[in-house]
Structure 1
C-alpha cells in the first residue's frame, strides 16, 4: 500500500526515536489494525445518495471517507450524481449531459428516498469540497469519463484551486472504472492517490495488477471477488484494497478476515473501527 505503508514506516521510526522500539511497533500495529470506512454516495442507506444530507450523515456517523460520483452538466459544471440520467434519483428526466447546471439545480434529488428529504439538490463537486474538506476524507469517482472529454482536468482544477492537489494525509482519493481516466488523472496530479474500480476477474490477474501498480494506489473490487489470496497479491504490489458495496452486515466480517484495507458501504455503522 504505497502511501499507507510509507506512513506506517514513518510513524514507527518517529515513535521509536521518541519512546523506543516497542512504542514504534505499537503505533504501526494500531495503524494496520484500522479499517477504512467509506460511506458509499454518502451514508446512502440513511439519506438520499449523493446529496449533502447523505454527506452530512457520513460525518455524523464518523466515516473515514465519503464517496461520490462526478459527471459534467451540459455547460461543463462538475455535478454529483451516480446515473448518467436523472430519472431514478430526481423528479426530472433526461441525461445529465443534456441538462445545464441551472436545470439540474432545480430538480428534487431527495423525495425518491423519502418525503422527509424533499427539496434536496444535486450538489456540485466544488460545494462538497468546500463544505467537507478537513472534516472527512473524500473519495471521488469519475463517472462515465467516455461521455465527458476533459473531466479529469476539471476535477484536477477543482482540487488545485483549493490547494488539495498535494494532500499530506491521503484524504482525497480519485477512482474510476475507466482505467484510462485513472491513468490520465494520475499524470495531471501525481500526488493524489488513485484507485481502480473493478467487477471483472480479468482485471485481477497477476499481469493486470502488476500493470495497475505502475500508477494506482488502490484496487477496489466488487466484494464478490475478495479473497485472502487477492488481498495478499494486491498488498505484495504495494497497493491498498477496498471492497464495494456492503449493504448487508453479514458481509463485513468475511471482508475483514480476508484483510481488506477498507469497506465501501451504504451503512457506515456496519463497519467496526478496528478489526478486533
Structure 2
C-alpha cells in the first residue's frame, strides 16, 4: 500500500510543470498589462498637434482625448500676472511682437494666439494661469512648467500662492506636478510647496548624467524628465533606482512613442495623445 502511495505521488509530480506553466504565463501577462495601463499620457502644451499650443482650445482637446495631464508653460507679465505661453516672446504664436515680460496681461490678451495654427482657431487668447487651474482642476492632471524662471524673480512664490489660494498645494493623486529646466528654481519651489511633486527637465547636454547628479536631483525632485533622444534602458533603470519617475519629451510620431514604451518609461509627453493611447492596455 505504501509503495502504491509513493508511486501515485511521483506520478503527480510529473504533471506539476504542465499545470504551472500556464499559471506563470498568465502572471507575466498580468504584469505586462499592468505596466501598459500605468503609462501616463501627458498632452504637451495641450493636444498641440490638433490645436494651437497653450490655448484653452488645446487643453480642451486634450481633455476630450482623455489624456492624463495637460502640460502648460507659465511666465510672468510686465505687471506681475501669470500667463500661459511657451516662448519668451509672443512673435511665433501670436500676431504680436515683443517679450512676454515687457507686455502687460491686458496687452497679451489682445493678441490672436490661434490664427498661426489654423483659421479655425482665429481669436484664441493667451490664457492666464488662474484661468487654466479654474477650468481643469479636478478634471485632468496639470503639469506646470516654469518657463525661464530666471527672467521672472519671484515667479515661484506667485505660482505657490495661486495654488494655495485654491487649496491645490496638497497632494491629490499627483494631479499637480511642477517642473523646469532651471533646477535651482525647482529647489525653491519644492521648499514653498513640499507636498507637490516636482520634476527636473533635462536637455541633450544631460546625456551623460551621473549617478551622483541623479542622487542630488532626487533630494528635491520626484521626476527626471529628459529629452527623449537621450533615453536608454540604463538611464531609465538608474532614474528608478534613485526613486524618481521619468516622463520624456516630446513625442510627435507613433514610432517615437513605441520606442519609449519599450524602454520602460513611466509616462510620455506628446503633442498627439492618441499615439500613447494606441498601446495595448491604454484608454
Q: TM-score w.r.t. structure 1 length?
A: 0.88
- Distance in 2 (alpha carbons) for counterparts of 1:48 and 1:31: 33
Residue 269 of structure 1: SS of its match in structure 2? helix
**Deviation of 1:168 (Å):** 2.6
Flag structure 1 segments of 5+ consecutive residues without an equivalent: 1-24
Are 2:136 and 1:132 equivalent residues in the alignment? Answer: yes
Q: Post-superposition shift, 1:167?
A: 2.1
Normalising by structure 2, we get a TM-score of: 0.86
User: Following TM superposition, where does structure 1 have runs of at least 4 consecutive aligned residues deviating by more than 3 angstroms?
Assistant: 25-33, 273-276
The equivalent position to 1:231 in structure 2, one of 225, 236, 248, is 236
Q: Deviations over 1:146-184 (max 9, x none)?
A: 100000000001110101000231000000000000110
RMSD: 1.8
Partner in structure 2 of residue 55 of structure 1: 59
Contact 1:35/1:275, CA 8 A, preserved across alignment = no
Q: Name the CA shift for 1:70/1:203 in 2 (closer, same or farther; >3 Å).
A: farther
Query: Cα deviations across residues 112-171 of structure 1 (Å, max 9, x unaligned)?
Result: 000000000000000000000011000000000110000000000111010100023100
- What pairs with 1:190-229 in structure 2 (closer than 5 Å)? 190-199=194-203, 200-201=205-206, 204-229=209-234
Give me the whole-angstrom Cα distance separating, in 2, the residues matched to 1:262 and 1:119. 32
Distance 1:71 1:161, change over 3 A: same
Please state whether the residue corresponding to 1:264 is helix, strand or coil: strand
**Secondary structure class of the residue paired with 2:201:** strand
Alpha-carbon separation, structure 1, partners of 2:164 and 2:31: 31
Cα 1:214/1:29, change in 2 over 3 Å: farther
Partner residue of 2:3?
none
Residues 256 and 275 in structure 1, CA contact (< 8 A), matched pair in contact too: no
Distance 1:167 1:229, change over 3 A: same
What whole-Å deviation, never above 9, does each CA across 1:45-68 have from its counterpart, x for those lacking one? 000000000000000000000001
For residues 214 and 208 of structure 2, the distance between their equivalents in structure 1, rounded to whole angstroms, comes to: 7
Query: Residue 272 in 1 paired to residue 274 in 2?
Result: no
- Give 1 or 2 for the bigger CA radius of gyration: 2
Provide the rounded CA distance (Å) in 2 between the counterparts of 1:101 and 1:150. 17
- Count the aligned residue pairs: 252
Gaps of at least 5 residues in structure 2 are: 1-27
Distance 2:169 2:33 in 1: 28
